Amino acid sequence: MKIIKESSQNLCRKRCRLAAIVILIVLGVFSPSQGTEQNGQNIYVGSLACRDCHPEEYDNFITFAKKSTSFQSVEKQMRHLTPEEIKQCYPCHTTGYGQPGGFISLEETPHLKNAGCEVCHGPGAEHAMTEDPTAIIGDMSKKDCEVCHISERVKAFKYKPLIHGGAH
């Protein structure tokens, strides 16, 4: 039974790596000669690349974490904001905005339009390709959330941290 489980896990890992490669190639952010880096830095692959190897965490994130649909907040405000004001929303409502391989626009990087797994865990291309646990951020604290959830936003949006609650 243990051998079957290990074999199944290995198959899942291979499929996860393949899925990550396919996603990156289709999106044009990866070529076999390029690797998992852009300008020398690990790049973002989007939450869907996490699903095959981390199905329970992915399902919980999509089901319970409001940030998995965070771009909806931006879309609701778009008609009231200038293009420059909208861009000010991107650092907290998208994945990797302003970072190598991060969100650029809905047209160019639709897979990064919400605040996904990599907002907390960091760019995931290397981890998805190698499965190296040190290639991703594993342990987070409330302090990590405070990059976006500053005191003014906590008051304005009634933010309550869900570390290990809503996402995992």
The reported pLDDT for the residue numbered 11 is: 58
For 1-40, how does the pLDDT look when each residue is reduced to its tens digit (9 = 90+)?
A: 555 545 555 555 556 555 655 655 555 544 443 445 665 6
pLDDT < 50 positions in the chain:
5, 29-35, 164-165
pLDDT for 141? 79
- The answer to whether residues 137 and 122 touch, using CB atoms and an 8 Å cutoff, is yes
**Alpha-carbon span 92 to 58, nearest angstrom:** 20
Nearest to 124 by CA among 29, 11, 3, 28: 29
